[in-house]
Amino acid sequence: MLDKPLVEIRSILWTNIGQSITGMWKSIQIIHEQIDLVAASQEEMKKARDALGNMPEQANKIVYFMNTHTKEDLAKLDIKDKTSTILIIKRVLTMRNFIQNLERKCEEMQMEINAFT
């Protein structure tokens, strides 16, 4: 007598469980993609930091040096175009800023991932 209602209840429960899992599956896939993205980003950041080494500190000193000397002083050092030279040096600083921004974004993503897991 109770067999038929129990079978129907089980069927309804398993259907609901299946729908819940299906609904969560996309979120689970996104979390795993974010984990992979964070790992790849961290690897690339390490490579970029290693490539930069202590160049950002040196770049700041060079820019300061160039801004505190006249054209004539720089010409004696064979630096003909102060502005172009500073722009080239600032690329190092821009790269450092990109790396720092990426690190912050990765930390935010990691906190989001940790909140879901």
- Per-residue pLDDT tens digits for 65-87: 989 999 899 999 898 888 888 89
Q: What percent of the chain has pLDDT over 90?
A: 50
Alpha-carbon torsion, ordered 98, 104, 108, 110, to 10 deg: 90
Per DSSP, the residues of 37-105 read HHHHHHHHHHHHHHHHTTHHHHHHHHHHHHHTS-HHHHHHTT---HHHHHHHHHHHHHHHHHHHHHHHH
**Residue 79 CB neighbour total at 10 angstroms:** 16
Looking at residues 60-69, what average pLDDT do you find? 91
- Rounded-to-integer distance, Cα 60 and Cα 80, Å: 19
**Residue 59 CB neighbour total at 10 angstroms:** 21
pTM: 0.66
- Residue ranges per structural domain of the chain: 25-116
Reply yes or no on whether the pLDDT at 1 is more than 70.
no
Looking at residues 83-93, what average pLDDT do you find? 90
**Which tops the pLDDT comparison, 44 or 2?**
44
Reply yes or no on whether the pLDDT at 2 is more than 90.
no
Q: What would the pLDDT profile of 12-45 be if each residue is shown by its tens digit? A: 999 988 888 887 888 888 889 999 999 999 999 9
**Residue 106 CB neighbour total at 10 angstroms:** 18
Q: Which pLDDT belongs to residue 6?
A: 82
Please name the residue that has the structure tokens 């609901």: 16
